[in-house]
């Protein structure tokens, strides 16, 4: 694609990066076939190729309108288009640059700005979110259709094993996960403990920064990332073997710290080290399967696995969790269109509720197609989103795997 970026951005780092990405796109449109919003709405501007054109126009200095912002807002950032693209167009990076520019050049209505501010203020703060969740539970009978967004209960966390092994890995507690499903990290710690690895959490570690960064408070998101690096750094210096992610939405972001902070002279080297150490829990378990397999008890049940977009498209970790679950004795039922997003996508289910609800309905019916006994997934956002409308139980796969250990 030929480009002529406007003077205001051409010679900036973002301008150069966007230009390089745009030039790779050959307009073939293969990506539209796997774009969930294009499949729902049938509008070229609600598919990746159309959005790439909109961002190109914005970067070339053409008029940016509320329609431009609307089409970019409707993007799930699922990155299915990146998986499909034969030219290696890094759509997600381009979208970060395009959204920032469009946000600066248009005036978002006050109510939208307020909603985004509240989400950016509440979700990354673990104790504030937990308190509001507890209040929401009390108010559940009065919330009407909103009640399904507030889970009636939280599974018990269970006991965390004492750190007794020489091999140590670091876990991210995360911001919303401890309040919604504290059993996930405990299950990961117990599974790893059985194979000689102690999982530890860093005191004071907060949000990975994804929430604020993707709400377009990019500087605030970068501050969250720096704060998390500071919390983790003593453990890194003490030689933790890996940083384990049980939420793929956080994992994809931490794996990108190296890129996101590469122009920060104080943090670039540490960010690169953190990204290099980061693994999804499925990658860790897969690598240790020889030690784990003798520990599995009786055969597991029939399950449908939902691979989050942040795992399969963002981190390019495909079929690994499925392999781990099959080795653990679970029978995986077929799931059509497993490459498509469930509609959770961070704060998308709150900011784009209608599209999100349609995607959730489609996903739940695809997951139920093979008559599983339960649905397993790998990201707290997808888990909470699917659980709010599912007839089947929905949980993190590591919690199900832990139950299989004899
Ligand atoms: S990130 Fe997802 S929703 Fe956005 S354009 Fe790509 S495929 Fe479509
Ligand atoms: S598949 Fe890749 S090269 Fe083709 S239109 Fe989409 S982004 Fe451009």
pLDDT digits (tens, 9 = 90+) for 42-85: 999 999 999 999 999 999 999 999 999 999 999 999 999 999 99
Contact 385, 379 (CB under 8 A): no
- 269-282 average pLDDT score: 98
pLDDT at 184 over 70: yes
Atom of ligand 2 at shortest range from CA of 29: 5
Res 144: pLDDT: 65
Q: In which band, very low, low, confident or very high, does the pLDDT at 381 lie, cut at 50, 70 and 90? A: very high
Show Cβ contacts of residue 48 under 8 Å, excluding neighbours closer than 6 positions. 31, 32, 35, 38, 81, 85, 91
pLDDT value at position 233?
A: 98
- Judge if the beta carbon of residue 35 lies within 6 A of ligand 1: yes
Q: What is the pTM of this model?
A: 0.95
405 beta partners: 296
Q: How far is the CA of 88 from the centre of ligand 2 (A)?
A: 8
- Are 36 and 359 in contact by the 8 Å Cβ rule? The answer is yes
Band (297; pLDDT cuts 50, 70, 90): confident
Atom of ligand 1 nearest to the CA of 37: 3
CA atoms within 13 A on the CB side of 76: 35
Between the CA of 342 and the centroid of ligand 1 the distance, in Å, is: 12
Furthest-apart CA pair in the chain: how many Å?
65
Q: Output the residue whose Cα is nearest ligand 1's atom 8.
A: 35
Q: Does 268 have pLDDT greater than 90?
A: yes
Token pair of 264, please?
């920060």
**H or E element, residue 168:** strand 167-171
At residue 159, the pLDDT reads: 94
- What pLDDT shows up at residue 146? 66
Identify any residues that bridge with 169 across adjacent strands, giving them in sequence order: 199, 242
45 Cα: distance to centroid of ligand 2 (angstroms)? 14
127/368: higher pLDDT: 368
Give 3-state DSSP helix, strand, coil % of the chain, rounded to 5: 55, 10, 35
Residue 230 makes CB contacts below 8 A (sequence gap 6+) with none
3-state secondary structure of 374: strand
User: For the segment 132-150, what is each residue's pLDDT rounded down to a tens digit?
Assistant: 888 888 877 766 666 777 7
User: Distance, CA 31 to ligand 2 centroid (Å)?
Assistant: 6
| Spatial distance between the Cα atoms of 270 and 280, rounded to a whole number of angstroms | 19
Query: What tokens were used for 228?
Result: 């998390």
pLDDT at site 304: 98
Please give the DSSP secondary-structure letter assigned to residue 308.
-
The residue whose CA is least distant from atom 2 of ligand 2 is 85
Ligand 2, CB within 6 Å, residue ranges: 25-31, 48-49, 52, 81, 84-85, 87, 89
């Amino acid at each position: 694609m030929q480009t002529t970026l406007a003077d205001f951005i051409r010679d900036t780092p973002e301008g150069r990066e966007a230009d390089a990405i745009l030039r790779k796109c050959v307009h073939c449109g293969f990506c539209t076939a796997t774009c969930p919003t294009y499949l729902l709405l049938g509008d070229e501007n609600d598919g990746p190729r159309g959005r790439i054109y909109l961002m190109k126009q914005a970067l070339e200095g053409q008029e940016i309108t509320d329609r431009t912002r609307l089409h970019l807002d409707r993007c799930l950032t699922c990155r299915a288009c990146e998986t499909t693209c034969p030219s290696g167009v890094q759509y997600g990076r381009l979208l970060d640059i395009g959204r920032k520019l469009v946000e600066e050049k248009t005036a978002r209505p006050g109510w939208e700005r307020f909603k985004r501010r509240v989400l950016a203020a509440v979700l990354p703060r673990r104790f504030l979110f937990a308190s509001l969740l507890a209040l929401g539970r009390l108010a559940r009978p009065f919330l009407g259709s909103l009640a399904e967004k507030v889970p009636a209960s939280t599974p018990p966390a269970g006991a965390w094993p004492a750190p007794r092994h020489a091999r140590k890995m670091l876990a991210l507690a995360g911001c919303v996960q401890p309040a919604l499903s504290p059993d996930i990290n405990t299950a990961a710690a117990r599974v790893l403990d059985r194979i000689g690895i102690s999982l530890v959490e860093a005191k004071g570690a907060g949000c990975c920064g994804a929430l604020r960064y993707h709400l377009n408070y990019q500087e605030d998101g970068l501050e969250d990332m720096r704060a998390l690096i500071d919390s983790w750094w003593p453990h890194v210096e003490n030689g933790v073997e890996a940083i384990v992610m049980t939420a793929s939405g956080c994992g994809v972001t931490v794996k990108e710290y190296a890129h996101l902070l590469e122009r920060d002279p104080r943090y670039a080297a540490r960010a690169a080290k953190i990204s290099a150490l980061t693994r999804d829990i499925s990658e860790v378990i897969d690598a240790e399967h020889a030690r784990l397999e003798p520990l599995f008890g009786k055969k597991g049940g029939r399950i449908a696995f939902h691979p989050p977009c942040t795992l399969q498209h963002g981190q390019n970790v495909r079929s690994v969790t499925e392999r781990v679950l099959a080795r653990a004795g679970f029978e995986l039922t077929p799931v059509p269109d497993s490459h498509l997003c469930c509609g959770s996508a961070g704060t998308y289910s709150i900011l784009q509720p209608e599209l999100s609800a349609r995607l959730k309905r489609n996903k739940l019916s695809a997951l139920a197609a093979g008559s599983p006994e339960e649905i397993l997934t790998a990201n707290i956002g997808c888990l909470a989103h699917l659980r709010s409308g599912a007839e089947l139980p929905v949980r993190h796969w590591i919690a199900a795997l832990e139950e299989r250990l004899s």
